Structure 1
């Protein structure tokens, strides 16, 4: 019934997925065509809105990314940032969320010595679908640990006491910078479909540090770039450590932005915006 009610938009989605950029992806994942018919991204997003989000996501990728982008990341994760710290390799890669793709259609994964320990799953959507003025937003539907606590604790300690989830948000900031986006939408805890039984994660507490809850909408509106407290408001004893943390996150942001630029058609969106 849902398919029949949305048949015109469904056929539009089929045409979009027939594009050369997504042709191989559809061959390997034919279920992608119908994924909006079940819960997608959030419990309070209708099937029609989910379909429109998918249309906007893949339309945006086809218009702004090189033709082999999706094929590349759907077969081999693309490294966006990497660094050796005390003999351990840390990476942030972009991948297609193969096993949990009802939560979104792109993901950033934080790795330690090639082991995936944390991920952020998101999708690019028209801002109007969230009643926002932005032409496009990044909607974050999942922030989850995917390996043991020991690896997460070790990574946090070695990366200037910054948790992997925060490092992935810095990377997402870099993606937004490359694309010229100014808003992230974060799905609130109440509407989460991806809460892990093994790793509980407070989305309200996490997203609340970056933005504000939109009343009656069950999502957080997070401005890009992220707001930072003025250094003179931070106790002098912690100021130097705070500066080191911010420098490390900014390094990740800028490196990720530079890496994403290689896959874009034409110059980065933020460069075009600066010229106008």
Structure 2
């Protein structure tokens, strides 16, 4: 099954509105910052770390994005947003060598590569941009260097989303790129009929396993930052229907949850004649998750191994088709 993708024209309209910081929006952000100075001071202390401080000259609002409208998800308090920002970057600082983190924040790092004839598919990870309030990190599927699908997420404390897990990956954005529908179809065929959304979710599972995160949480349509009532059906297809398809369960807080590893439907429930293909697709997704897991394991920051890990940080793991 190929999952629903947010229609590109509507997605672009939402993105343009998101990217433009009007005077009214800036005033709201400034008021939140002034009203929550202790939160701002905590973030400024974190940004003393050189690898994070280097982001500010090219992205001054990096230090105040926690106060942006609907940062990460609707209905989070300013204090909760601040906590998410601090937790996310605290985890990255503790886990990744400075050189690798610097490349993620300023450019990108390739974590997986698949060659299909003359076509090269890559999964890259980078600081979400230019729409940077819908998840701090992005996993982007590229076709020959062109992005065609993206999932954006953050590592946040489980308590923020009413989870018993110490921390979760919070998915804030899932979207196909404008004008890339044909390439998305081509990628689906090349990857054992696994659609890009499911492919990137498998990659995200590998990231979660590398970081020891036991739960993935996704926003529903009504909690997505760019949600609007006139596009309700579009958002529900892109978020609610997709998460339901992969077996995630929505709670009363309008957030979808699934454990890591993501459970599969029992094979006995799969229609006769589809079981072999289902096994192949599941094996492929497991390979994707394992490949991303190995990449981060190989590039982990370890005591006494900092320089060695930095030297290896630019080498993606190839997944053989």
Greater relative contact order (CA < 8 Å, ≥ 6 in sequence) = 2
CA distance in 2, matches of 1:7, 1:221: 33
Distance (Å, rounded) in 2 between the aligned partners of 1:220 and 1:4: 33
Structure 2 residue corresponding to 1:91, chosen from 116, 122, 127: 122
What secondary structure sits across from 1:227 in the alignment?
coil
Mapping 1:195-214, distance limit 5 Å: 201-208=237-244, 209-214=246-251
Please give the TM-score of this superposition, normalised by the length of structure 2: 0.78
What residue in structure 1 maps to residue 255 of structure 2?
219
Gaps of 5+ in 1: 268-276
Cα pair 1:213 1:221 within 8 Å, conserved: yes
Partner residue in 1 for 2:314: none
Give the secondary structure class of the aligned counterpart of 1:108. Answer: strand
1:231 aligned to 2:267?
yes
Structure 2: gaps of 5 or more residues: 1-30, 304-321
TM-score for the superposition, normalised by structure 1: 0.90
Indicate whether 1:180 and 2:212 are aligned.
yes
Question: Which residue pairs with 1:270 in the alignment?
Answer: none
CA distance in 1, matches of 2:106, 2:50: 15
Structural RMSD (CA): 1.8
Q: What corresponds to 1:272 in structure 2? A: none
Q: Report deviation, 1:195.
A: 5.4
Matches within 5 A, 1:99-110: 99-110=130-141
Q: Which residue does 1:69 correspond to in 2?
A: 100
Given that residues 21 and 69 in structure 1 are in contact (C-alpha distance below 8 angstroms), is that contact kept between their aligned partners in structure 2?
no
Between the aligned partners of 1:73 and 1:4, the Cα distance in structure 2 is 30
Cα deviation, 1:171-221, whole Å, max 9, x if unaligned, reads 000001111111111011011124598x86521111122311111x12111
In structure 2, what is the equivalent of residue 120 of structure 1? 151
For the residue of structure 2 that corresponds to 1:168, the secondary structure is helix
Residue 265 (str. 1) matches residue 301 (str. 2): yes
**Among residues 150, 168, 173, which one is paired with 2:200 in the alignment?**
168
Alignment pair present for 1:37 and 2:67: yes
**Distance (whole Å) between structure 2 residues aligned to residue 210 and residue 31 of structure 1:** 37
